Amino acid sequence: MDSVDAAGVGIGNGYPTRIMGVLNVSEESPYDPSVYDDPGEAARYVDEELIGEGADIVDVGLESANKRFEVLSAEEELERLHVACETIDRVEGEAVFSIETRYHEVADAALERGFDMVNDICGFADPQMPAVCEAHDAAVGKMASPPDLERPGAVEETDWAARKSPEWAERAEYVDQVYEALKQNGLTDKTIVDPAFGGWSEAQTVDDDRETFRRLAEFRALERPILVSINRKNFLGDLVGRETGERLPASLAATAMAIERGADAVRTHDVAETRDAAVIADAFGGRTD
């Protein structure tokens, strides 16, 4: 099962690489160009800068995932959900709308109010998340994480000796841990796996991300589409010696390579440019043959 249907949009084998654009309605989000708290302005941004530039999916975040900020509760996320829902009601273009949340209550409310899929950055740490997504027949992105709602993506902080065995923990490499984290609480028929690139914890290093990138094709063994979020990440900037604002060329090169290695969807703030890179990778990588 290497493809899923997300509200009529196919993701995976036999389909072009899907581009996931980003909208944040979180006041604390650090990337200003994507942050809006007015539904009208947010809708114009989505229509012009995301869908208009080629986004197939619009991922809406209610809070910043940056570890410097306090984690919002489900109730606090629900208080912000109305802005996201009003926004998608005003959007004129066609796209799949994804709600980024770690809580099944928020996912359920968002899917009831017009969202099409879920992007779970805590990887089913909320064990009721899979059931909610299945009840709505919704695709769900599952990012590799420990079984903890407070620590998205901090895979290496998991007590692997207790969860697996001391022997396994001793020999397991970072990518082995990511793979095991993606399996926690299972996979729905419409799960899209995300190996969690980026500095999700103090322990995660750029070398960890590079190892994950080199071994990206291994995640195909999970028999689910793969979502990557590598746009302007530190593991790329460190290689080329560029700050965030100067990393677009490196991001585009990595995007094309990620698609060749099995990525089916790419989450990005640079929609138009990433779409072009994906079109080239699809055309010459044989993806849509």
Lowest mean pLDDT among 60-69, 91-100, 197-206, 209-218: 60-69
Instruction: Give which of 193, 105, 108, 111 is closest to 149, Cα–Cα.
Output: 105
Indicate the fold that domain 3-285 takes in CATH. TIM Barrel (3.20.20)
Q: What pLDDT sits at residue 201? A: 86
Sheet order of strands, 265-267 included: 191-194, 140-143, 117-120, 96-100, 57-61, 18-24, 265-267, 227-228
CB 21 within 8 Å of CB 57: yes
Q: How confident is the model at residue 199 (pLDDT cuts 50, 70, 90)?
A: confident
- Could you give the C-alpha distances from 272 to 50, 166, 168, 169, in angstroms and in order? 8, 46, 43, 42
Q: What pLDDT sits at residue 32? A: 59
Give the C-alpha separation, 26 to 132, whole Å: 24
Whole-model pTM: value is 0.94
H or E stretch at 26: none
- Mean residue pLDDT of the chain comes to 93
Does 63 or 127 have the greater pLDDT score? 127
pLDDT tens-digit profile of 165-174?
A: 999 999 999 9
Q: What pLDDT sits at residue 25? A: 86
Q: How many CB atoms lie within 10 A of CB 27?
A: 11
pLDDT tens-digit profile of 60-94?
A: 999 876 666 678 899 999 999 999 999 999 999 99
**β partners of residue 156:** none
Mean of pLDDT values over 1-17: 94
Helix, strand, or coil here: 104? Answer: helix
Q: What pLDDT sits at residue 289? A: 44
